[in-house]
Amino acid sequence: MLPILYHYDASPFAELVRAAFGVKGIAWGSVMVPNILPKPDQTRLTGSYARTPMVQVGADIYCDTGAILPALEALGGRSLYPAPLGPLHRMIASWANGPQFLAHVGAAMGAMPADAMGEGFIKDRQARFGMDLGQLGKSAPHLTGQAMVASAWLSDTLADGRAFIGGDAPGAGDLALYSNLWFVAAVPFAADTAAAMLARPHVADWYARLAGFGHGDRQELTADAALAHASAAPLPVSGGVDAPFAAGMMVGVAQEGNRDAPSVGRLLRCDAGGIVIARDVDGAGTVHVHFPRLGQVITPLPSREREGPAA
Ligand SMILES: N[C@@H](CCC(=O)N[C@@H](CS)C(=O)NCC(=O)O)C(=O)O
């Protein structure tokens, strides 16, 4: 089944997934969404989750790269968790996509003038993420210093001549570090910082090797064509439901670090391997919405509670 990415060009987390398609060498559908709310083509499937990227595979909807990459792994092609690091790639990606992502936001955007961001973007990020432009500007030197540590550690890791952080094959940890650097390199106001990062020994060659995988075989789709894929039956759910939650209860799933409304559904899975809720979508039937366990806040709801309007 064709994986379908909901994304916009400038998103570093979307670039991570586009690059993962390249590493895997697989075909994928592309649905473009705005970089600010509302995103109705996306939220009619997720219930509310509006962060970028989201990937749909049939009636299975994957929110957050922590759920998306394991789903892509199941589609075959080159592994995103190659030996010898294997699952350790997840820990490295979690550091790169967590505290290091915030540091790279400062490095990339700290010197960007407000008019280059646009009023709509600034209002969206203020309301959803509490972004404070003045504070971001003041924190930029500190955050840039934090981000430079990632390039230095990457350089140290590559010093023995290995092609990627785990050896000969690229993995999820490489992609997470790569997308942070890609973000800084994509912002003209951060050109000096990007140059300093890439000037660390071995880093530019490693970056070029990852970029060389490209983005796989991208096919543009309309949102309605993508919705039709959701009429398939969702995949059987693996894993279980850890206490204090119980299978079948109505829950809301929200994310640490933003104020977006929770996605509401019936809980099918909640363990270290991830979260799955079932929800009904007009025109498509039941879909399963997947999240990683890390970074998600689950709130049990009275079973009669109805979903609010999509974000
Ligand atoms: N933990 C998420 C983070 C995704 C994220 O923060 N994406 C940014 C864009 S790169 C976002 O959602 N920004 C708000 C938006 O796109 O509406 C993941 O790994 O996918």
For the CA of 8, the closest atom of ligand 1 is: 16
Dist CA 287 CA 46 (whole Å): 9
H-type alpha helices, 159-269:
172-186, 191-198, 203-211, 223-229
Minimal-distance CA residue to ligand 1 atom 8: 52
- According to the model, what pLDDT value does residue 303 have? 76
Task: Pick 88-204's CATH classification: 3.40.50.2000, 1.20.1050.10, 1.10.3370.10, 3.40.640.10.
Answer: 1.20.1050.10
Q: How far is the CA of 161 from the centre of ligand 1 (A)?
A: 33
* Mutation test residue for ligand 1: of 5, 8, 13, 31, the one with most atoms within 8 Å of CB: 13
pTM of the model: 0.97
Q: What confidence score (pLDDT) does residue 310 get?
A: 45
Q: What is the distance between the alpha carbons of residues 33 and 221, in angstroms, rounded to a whole number?
A: 12
> For all residues of the chain together, what is the average pLDDT?
96
Task: Please tell me the predicted confidence (pLDDT) of residue 256.
Answer: 97
Q: What is the pLDDT of residues 62-98, one digit of tens each?
A: 999 999 999 999 998 899 999 999 999 999 999 999 9
Residue 171 has a pLDDT of 98
Residues of the chain short of pLDDT 50, as ranges, are 309-311
268 Cβ closer than 6 Å to some ligand 1 atom: no
Query: Cα 144 from chain centroid?
Result: 22
d(CA 125, CA 123): 6
CA-based nearest residue to 170, from 212, 199, 137: 212
| Whole-angstrom distance, CA of residue 268 vs CA of residue 298 | 13
* Omega before 201 within 30 of 0, i.e. cis: no
- CA dihedral in degrees (256, 258, 261, 265; nearest 10)? -30
**Phi, psi dihedrals of residue 64, rounded to the nearest 5°:** 85, 140
